Amino acid sequence: MSNIYDLSIFLEPQEKILWQGMPQAVGSSPWSLKIIQAFGYFGLFAFGFFLLIGLANWDEIGEALGIWLIFLGLSLAIAFTFLVVMPKVVRSSLKATHYIVTPTHAVIVQHLWQIQISRIPVPENEEIVIYRDQNFQTVRFYHYDNRAANPENRVYRVYQFERLTPHDAATAAKVLETIRGQAGPGAQPVFSSRPKPA
């Protein structure tokens, strides 16, 4: 998959890219966006409710006019934020996310407001799964955080390349299979961030 970014700037020197991709920002809304939009519809419902209550009692509103206008404004602001602004932020976030597979790590780069890089080793004995929804596929892999002194306190973390086309998902899963255990037995995920260049 091609893009306008030279993704090697996010990698270690001399590190090769075996596969790269990015989530699809168009098409059906992700579940997180649908939940966000539900809050927006609630705000729209509240706006309609307050509007009708105020208009139905217009003769008696008197000194409560200011409070009524505040409730109308707040409910409309909630609806606007969750129905207009947040979907744009989610789509922008998807467009600013890149997935990379190197010979030793899966790398997730997000560069919406600042650059965040997650370098995740793919353990040798954990499953790599492709989940399918209506239009897109998600490649999911798991990693035990074994830094805890007591093995019972280890955290099982899920990492994923989401909203991929079927071809990209199949290719990513195949390449991830080839790098299982290549980072070493005790390798742990590394997360870093830095300011976005101007």
pLDDT tens digits for 159-173?
Answer: 999 999 999 999 999
SS3 label, residue 109: strand
pLDDT value, residue 19: 95
pTM for the predicted model, two decimal places: 0.78
pLDDT value, residue 158: 87
Of the candidates 100, 107, 103, 99, the one whose C-alpha atom is nearest the C-alpha of residue 179 is 103
pLDDT value, residue 172: 96
d(C-alpha 164, C-alpha 33), whole Å? 17
Residues in the chain predicted with pLDDT less than 70, given as ranges, are 1-5, 28-30, 145-154, 198
